[in-house]
Structure 1
């Protein structure tokens, strides 16, 4: 445990400082430099390449000034691209109108640039299609630069000034948001990544065992694999130019131990031949490559629901601090200009693990394994940056070199890694497209939502606003399923409260005669007091008997039922005697008469469920219904319903 004063100083979030204010060069190529993950890049605009060189120079100057003043982290790459694209269009468009592109300038009146911008937007729409945001981005960037140029170009036409203040003609394309991976896909990706990590660790163990027995191949010979592995730790000693004189040109004539290093198929046929592949395979025995690091990337994103791919990718060794309880990570979110520290705890001692092999699969365990895998890379290449994802590849002139993994090459992206994985049966993984690494973050969010439940504010967590969660995460399939289940549970509760599941109990004539006997009372779900009150007519509600008028399922308090007899046939407390069958027959006839006076939807809403409940009762005592109808005719019985019931239900 760190002592007081030994903990690393937490880096606080700060507003990016503006670059030094200086006037751009007015002649020659305009260039802006920027650094990303330790690599210095340049964006350039050369006005001399275009016939509208004056206009291109004015826009390029505005770009350089704006990028420096706003401290753009990427050097304003989108703005430079907009300038180049617009300049090319002006060179092509103006001659077709009989105008000279050299006359185009922001402070000129010969060429109406507002109309040219409109034509350029139409051209962008045609080139990029309807499902692209490029017209919006490029036009927005150009208009921003024109607004910037207003400060220096005082003679700018009023029409162009007004156009710069207006939005682009075409809005950005809002495509379908990314969905998360299903649970089966998540487990398949997790298992494949774990298998890849185990295979990497086994390969590195084999290579480092060879390294222990290796010597300088210039002294011990080039045909010993251990010596070749030793040469891999001296990058300039293991190149194609150095290896060619040491081996025959025909790969099949190489010594068998060296040929065994090359990738081969199940039938021992060499899949890749040549010195380049030999260097790559020797490097793979000692250093992880980008494809090897993808497995760690997948597992960490699945285990860190509050970390974006960019934050994980930008981690360096100073950002990682192991403690007795876990690991503390300092993460930087460039888009939000935020720096935050997260603590990931180790699992409790003695907790059961669900993996085979050494190490742990939680976040601290994965980071320890990743650092162990890249330890030799940092020793052999001390000038490489302190990146967590440090990959060794054949780079300039075929020499091994280490730098941060970019995961941008087509074969080294997340989709390429998925395509290279196989199940235990040797089949490719069945993963839905698109193969976007951002879907892993959404999957981790959904797993967290399933585990926690609760409100949207609970699910959003500490790293999102509720509205951000609703817009970018709550649309997923799993979230919809969870919402549907919640609605179904609520509906089921309501239906159970109002459904006929507690339909009236029919008491036969024989049972009615022995109603006060304990065995009969128990079978009917009554107590002695209820049975006695029913025999005396105290619980007669006008249509049927009621077990307890003060325990109505249609109200929450303990007051007397307020919907009898309108809802008695839908109540679990109702008890029907055979002497009450004529009343039910009269009610059934009344309901059928209402069918002719009410619209079908209205009748179904008011009387449909009661008609179904009556049909169930009549099915149980079908032999008593004809007798009940004769009794109605002989005695002239009529149905007495409360006035309120007729007013509410019959119209």
Structure 2
């Protein structure tokens, strides 16, 4: 009999139905993840899966408490409660070590439901199913009561594979420069603002005695955070903001046309804090510059830095970095440059320090120094931001950059170039693209092999999969291929022709001026004149420097390749030999296919044609000499097979 109404929850507490909870702390925040089996009709199944979740999360030391796995457990048992009653099965019968409910079929139905709920382009069905199967496999390895079908299913992959999304591309070099300049301008603006605020603070006093209507006294109150909030300010100011004292009203944010953007005590507290302490938005500029300057550091490693992780040395700064996903701790030294760039103009607030990594860290620590002094209980994060909290009081904590306006994309949207126009940066606004940009800059600078470009913080395969796909890398690879192809094409198409020496020049060949005009040295000219460098077809200026071999041994392809050699020198007395070679090449044209003939003899035929064009008037006499003397090619025996075929 089928039933559509679920049975009521158990009325008595069961030993196995306790709330499973995991707490974790990361980057100054705490979170709790729970699975309460008593909320579900399949309470035994929920308890078993929750136990496996806790065991697995603790065994592999998941830094996030296994939030995704807990979510998968809750989603699966909720589906079991809805699905089994439609089949006429009591959900309470479902358990990992039972045979009443076929969990393999339930898992298949759950995957189909996830697919329809999340859509075809979502990875959630794969991720949730994979988490569940991981727990099932862990259980099957230690519990012999797990059915064999469920054991086999646990070892198989999810029914739907993950969606391979397009990897992020890096920012272009132009965008990198725009982001760098905008971040530098933001840092200068921050340092100028903090300098103004701290100068004003020196004149401040306790507003309870010196009055609440002086900005300096309000800043003094900001250094005693509990004193500065809307409740304490309200009795001392009129309700109408326009009636506030001019110096105090001037602290409120304004539009370019001078109108007030925000009114009230909340924005006043925020602006007073901004005059003394860096906010998350301010720290985003330092984050951008450090990411652009540290090619071997991920956003995660940079974000997690504490002050004890930073050690300044005589040669630079040493950083102890932790990469949670790779479970790796390493130390990197960022050296100080020999010279510091002088980029600031007298009209700009230059700040203190350089734009290299050590200089940026010094400037960041100087900017947050007062924050650490006023909020001593805050954890010593490098990116310590001061914001107005929900209770209306200023508070310090890690800049998590999660708020929509404070994320990397929000920071880009709030920046302007030198002309006051919004930055033109391609989307998506992902901080990880900065990481890839620095990798590409490193690749351009090194120009080495993939193993060189991967660096010390990646395997070659990781670099190939996640970094080598970038547009710049493809352009560089294309240029390299084009250069290699062009070199081959040039070698194939650029004519390499022998030097033709006229009869008159041959008579004066040993004279220095004539030899120099022909590109010959005095000793080479003398040897050519006496016939010492006659290779059987033409002369050779240096048989021991053949372009057809890499060693210094005598050329092994003469005279077969002499007409294609830059060392060849042709005397007019050798024209009959060249005519005989030309006749042979034409004879081979009739015996070979056009493609084959072109590959073997085409280039030599073209070289001979150019030589003959330069001495057209000598060709008839050379033909008569061949006929009268019965000349033939005088070649080594080993070469005759190349010409007599």
TM-score, L = length of structure 1: 0.85
Pick the aligned partner of 1:149 from 113, 124, 139.
139
Q: Aligned residue for 1:57?
A: 47
Instruction: Tell me the secondary structure at the aligned position of residue 361 of structure 1.
Output: coil
Question: 1:625-640, aligned counterparts within 5 Å?
Answer: none
Shift of 1:586: 5.1
CA deviation string 1:18-67 (max 9, x = no partner): xxxxxx97334322101111211101223344443433232122212322
For residues 132 and 200 of structure 1, the distance between their equivalents in structure 2, rounded to whole angstroms, comes to 41
Q: Aligned residue for 2:571?
A: 577
Q: Aligned residue for 2:441?
A: 447
Instruction: Tell me the secondary structure at the aligned position of residue 410 of structure 1.
Output: coil
Q: Aligned residue for 2:8?
A: none
Question: 1:463-612, aligned counterparts within 5 Å?
Answer: 463-483=457-477, 500=494, 502-535=496-529, 537-581=531-575, 583-585=577-579, 587-588=581-582, 590-591=584-585, 594=588, 598=592, 602-612=596-606
RMSD: 3.4
Describe the shift of the 1:246–1:554 C-alpha distance in structure 2 as closer, same or farther (beyond 3 A): same
Gaps of 5+ in 2: 1-13, 345-349
Describe the shift of the 1:536–1:263 C-alpha distance in structure 2 as closer, same or farther (beyond 3 A): same
For residues 529 and 28 of structure 2, the distance between their equivalents in structure 1, rounded to whole angstroms, comes to 93
Describe the shift of the 1:83–1:532 C-alpha distance in structure 2 as closer, same or farther (beyond 3 A): same
Q: Aligned residue for 1:168?
A: 158
Pick the aligned partner of 1:415 from 387, 409, 413.
409
Gaps of 5+ in 1: 1-23
For residues 89 and 333 of structure 1, the distance between their equivalents in structure 2, rounded to whole angstroms, comes to 36
For residues 155 and 388 of structure 1, the distance between their equivalents in structure 2, rounded to whole angstroms, comes to 52
Shift of 1:275: 3.3
Shift of 1:482: 4.9
For residues 620 and 414 of structure 2, the distance between their equivalents in structure 1, rounded to whole angstroms, comes to 78
Q: Aligned residue for 2:375?
A: 381
Q: Is the 2:17–2:43 contact (alpha carbons within 8 Å) kept by the matching residues of 1?
A: no
Describe the shift of the 1:646–1:484 C-alpha distance in structure 2 as closer, same or farther (beyond 3 A): farther
Question: 1:153-232, aligned counterparts within 5 Å?
Answer: 154-232=144-222
Instruction: Tell me the secondary structure at the aligned position of residue 379 of structure 1.
Output: helix
Q: Is the 1:606–1:649 contact (alpha carbons within 8 Å) kept by the matching residues of 2?
A: no
Describe the shift of the 1:66–1:585 C-alpha distance in structure 2 as closer, same or farther (beyond 3 A): same
Describe the shift of the 1:650–1:360 C-alpha distance in structure 2 as closer, same or farther (beyond 3 A): farther
Which stretch shifts more, 383-392 or 595-604? 595-604
Which stretch shifts more, 195-204 or 561-570? 561-570
Residues 1:44 and 2:34 are matched in the alignment = yes
CA deviation string 1:573-624 (max 9, x = no partner): 1112344445445545654565565455544443343344344435544566
Q: Is the 1:498–1:554 contact (alpha carbons within 8 Å) kept by the matching residues of 2?
A: no
Shift of 1:561: 1.8
Q: Aligned residue for 2:62?
A: 72
Q: Aligned residue for 2:9?
A: none
Q: Aligned residue for 1:82?
A: 72
Shift of 1:647: 5.2
Residues 1:326 and 2:320 are matched in the alignment = no
For residues 220 and 622 of structure 1, the distance between their equivalents in structure 2, rounded to whole angstroms, comes to 110
Q: Aligned residue for 1:294?
A: 284
Q: Aligned residue for 1:4?
A: none
TM-score, L = length of structure 2: 0.86
Pick the aligned partner of 1:397 from 391, 395, 399.
391
CA deviation string 1:492-528 (max 9, x = no partner): 7777777756531122344334434432222112345
For residues 260 and 628 of structure 2, the distance between their equivalents in structure 1, rounded to whole angstroms, comes to 103
Shift of 1:406: 0.7
Q: Is the 2:498–2:565 contact (alpha carbons within 8 Å) kept by the matching residues of 1?
A: yes
Shift of 1:374: 0.9
Residues 1:359 and 2:353 are matched in the alignment = yes
Q: Aligned residue for 1:122?
A: 112
For residues 253 and 582 of structure 2, the distance between their equivalents in structure 1, rounded to whole angstroms, comes to 84
For residues 265 and 596 of structure 1, the distance between their equivalents in structure 2, rounded to whole angstroms, comes to 87
Shift of 1:268: 1.4
Instruction: Tell me the secondary structure at the aligned position of residue 396 of structure 2.
Output: strand
Shift of 1:390: 0.7
Instruction: Tell me the secondary structure at the aligned position of residue 554 of structure 1.
Output: coil
Instruction: Tell me the secondary structure at the aligned position of residue 412 of structure 1.
Output: coil
CA deviation string 1:107-157 (max 9, x = no partner): 333331112212322333444455544333222210121233347765332
Residues 1:310 and 2:304 are matched in the alignment = no
Shift of 1:207: 1.1
Shift of 1:533: 4.5
Q: Is the 2:495–2:607 contact (alpha carbons within 8 Å) kept by the matching residues of 1?
A: no
